[in-house]
Amino acid sequence: MNQRTPIVILGAGPAGLGAALQLARRGPFDVTAVERHTQVGGNAGSFDAGGLQVDYGSHRLHPACSPAILSDIREMLGADLLDRPRHGRMRIRGRWVHFPLKPLDLAAHLPLSFSLGVLRDAAAKLGRKDSGESFEQVLQHGLGRTICRDFYFPYARKIWGVDPSELDAEQARRRVSAGSLAKMIRKVMGAIPGIKPPGSGRFFYPKRGFGQISEAYHCAALRAGAKVMLGVPVTGIETRDGRAVAAAVRAGDEERLLPARQILSTIPISRLVQCMRPAAPQAVLEAAASLRFRSMILIYLVLETERFTEYDAHYFPAPGVAITRLSEPKNYGLAEAPGTTVLCAELPCSRTDTVWTASDEQLGRVMTDALAAAGLPVNARIRQILTRRLPEAYPIYTRDYRRHFDRITGWVDTIDGLVTFGRQGLFAHDNTHHTLAMAYGLNDCLDEAGGLDRRKWAGYRREFERHVVED
């Protein structure tokens, strides 16, 4: 019997589990995924709060998901994969508008001064060439001052904690799907029946929380023969003569080496560099330290009421409201929990901010104060307050981020047997279907002996660079 080629995957979020399933299905590989947390899914996981499955923020599976990936998910989840209409709203200038945007709703609810400002911006843009090296320049040129002033710029300051002028233009290209007035008009017009493309204004969502997708991949990978080790942090990557040969992990009180022909890493790329043995060059370590992530505190209120509002999500760009988004998971998956609902508020911050170490009760007050400021007072009895902290929620594309990122990946690419991929691994703003696309693409680049076709992988990497986050 031929010995199977060992593959070690770092991280058991969607990207890691997607790769584990694809490789295990092929047969010649001995696949082991290791995850530092005690459950799979990472930031795309779910957990119980007050008898309801809730997510780490607001998550959806977008119809833009590739047919092959969507087919796998449908096969694994069956009737549990719900097709749901988008039903969110955004607060602009103290007024609510539907999100995704709808033409009649915009005309009815936004002040005339806003519409006139957008028209003036459109007229002023005629004849100008696209330009801009910063988030601020790209969006102000593409969308005009009015939309940027009332939505994108204050929202950017809250989400990333820096002024839009300090963000690289790539942040606009990767995070704003409607980066010009023409694109925004197409998205708005796409909400009109008879014009909208298939899947527009809808999303897929698992009946038992978004984490059910990762759990399904986990179970399928195990059935295919992969091993998944939970509660096992990565402590080192052993290299020899320019090749990665083993991943060191902490299992209980002991460090254990997992030999590998390939180590496929989805952990944050800056953390990966710090794990290298022997140590990475000083210039690479300095580049890793220069990459910045925005942290996030998720605040959950378990309320004794049937539901808080009819909306699945609310967006708050205004600086006077501390949180950026509020979601009500019960409205996503149509969960049956009579007399109970849960609200999840997203509070971007830095780990050096005092709020990062605040108590659950203090954070609950931050959340209720923010909702009151937005005209959404919490009148139902609060049964429980829970919080979760995401240290690396969003990559921050500062104006010099590309220089640091390229230095890191340029060095990692010289190490045979080591590949970094996924949202954290490629320092990317991506949806779950994008990270799964990375996993499926990586599987396509490994031959039957576990060797990596670097030219093909470089092609996939260029494709991933074109990913734009779906709102």
Domain presence at residue 431: yes
Q: Which two tokens mark 199?
A: 């899947």
Of 396, 427, 453, the one marking the end of a domain is 396
Give yes or no: residues 324 and 404 share one domain.
Answer: no
- For residue 348, say if its preceding peptide bond is cis, omega within 30 degrees of 0: no
The pairing of strands 234-240 and 254-259 is unpaired
Q: What total of structural domains would you count in the chain?
A: 3
Give yes or no: residues 419 and 381 share one domain.
Answer: no
**SS3 assignment for 136-184:** HHHHHHHHCHHHHHHHHHHHHHHHHCCCHHHEEHHHHHHHCCCCCHHHH
Domain presence at residue 231: yes
* C-alpha closest to that of 125 among 142, 146, 110: 142
Domain presence at residue 88: no
Residue 231, helix vs strand vs coil: coil
Give yes or no: residues 451 and 403 share one domain.
Answer: yes
Domain presence at residue 89: no
Length of the chain: 471
Show the CA angle centred on residue 447, arms to residues 443 and 449, nearest 5°: 120
DSSP string, 19-56: HHHHHHHHSSEEEEEEESSSSS-GGG-EEEETTEEEES
CA distance 307 to 236: 46
Domain presence at residue 379: yes
- The total of other beta-carbon atoms located within 10 Å of residue 119's CB is 13
Q: Which two tokens mark 394?
A: 């969003």
Look at residue 123 in the predicted model and tell me its pLDDT. Answer: 78
User: Are the C-beta atoms of residues 345 and 298 closer than 8 Å to each other?
Assistant: yes
Domain presence at residue 95: no
Q: Which two tokens mark 158?
A: 């809250």
pLDDT by residue for the chain (471 residues), tens digit each?
A: 458 999 999 999 999 999 999 999 998 999 999 999 999 999 999 999 999 999 999 999 999 999 999 999 999 999 999 999 999 999 998 999 988 776 677 777 888 888 788 888 777 765 555 567 899 998 888 888 888 898 889 999 999 999 999 999 999 888 775 555 555 555 554 555 554 555 568 999 999 999 999 999 999 999 999 999 999 999 999 999 999 999 999 988 899 999 999 999 999 999 999 999 999 999 999 999 999 999 999 999 999 999 999 999 999 999 999 999 999 999 998 888 899 999 999 999 999 999 999 999 999 999 999 999 999 999 999 999 999 999 999 999 999 999 999 999 999 999 999 999 999 999 998 899 999 999 999 999 999 999 999 999 999 999 999 888 877
Give yes or no: residues 158 and 279 share one domain.
Answer: no
Give yes or no: residues 317 and 438 share one domain.
Answer: no
* C-alpha closest to that of 283 among 407, 427, 412, 419: 407
**First-to-last C-alpha distance (Å) of the chain:** 50
Look at residue 1 in the predicted model and tell me its pLDDT. Answer: 43
Q: Which residues pair with 95 in a beta bridge?
A: 92
DSSP string, 307-345: -S-S-SEEE--STTSS-SEEE-THHHHT---TT-EEEEE
* Residue 254 parent element (H or E): strand 254-259
Give yes or no: residues 287 and 315 share one domain.
Answer: no
What letter does residue 102 receive in the DSSP assignment?
A: -
CATH of the domain at 128: 1.10.3110
Q: Which residues pair with 230 in a beta bridge?
A: 35
Give yes or no: residues 71 and 143 share one domain.
Answer: no
Give yes or no: residues 451 and 306 share one domain.
Answer: no
Give yes or no: residues 287 and 378 share one domain.
Answer: no
Residue 457, helix vs strand vs coil: helix
Domain presence at residue 178: yes
Give yes or no: residues 405 and 278 share one domain.
Answer: yes
What letter does residue 357 receive in the DSSP assignment?
A: G
Give yes or no: residues 312 and 282 share one domain.
Answer: no
Of 375, 396, 417, the one marking the end of a domain is 396
Q: Which residues pair with 255 in a beta bridge?
A: 250
CATH of the domain at 455: 3.50.50.60
Contact partners, residue 225, CB within 8 Å, separation at least 6: 24, 31
Could you list the residue range(s) of the whole structural domain that residue 416 is in? 5-44+65-80+209-291+398-464
Give yes or no: residues 147 and 225 share one domain.
Answer: no
Domain presence at residue 96: no
Counting Cα atoms < 13 Å in the Cβ hemisphere of 84 gives 25
Q: Which two tokens mark 454?
A: 């670097």
The pairing of strands 254-259 and 262-265 is unpaired
User: Are the C-beta atoms of residues 22 and 440 closer than 8 Å to each other?
Assistant: yes
Of 396, 426, 450, the one marking the end of a domain is 396
Distance of CA 69 to the CA centre of its chain: 17
CA distance 426 to 272: 11
Q: Which two tokens mark 355?
A: 């709020």
Query: Considering the entire predicted model, what is its pTM?
Result: 0.93
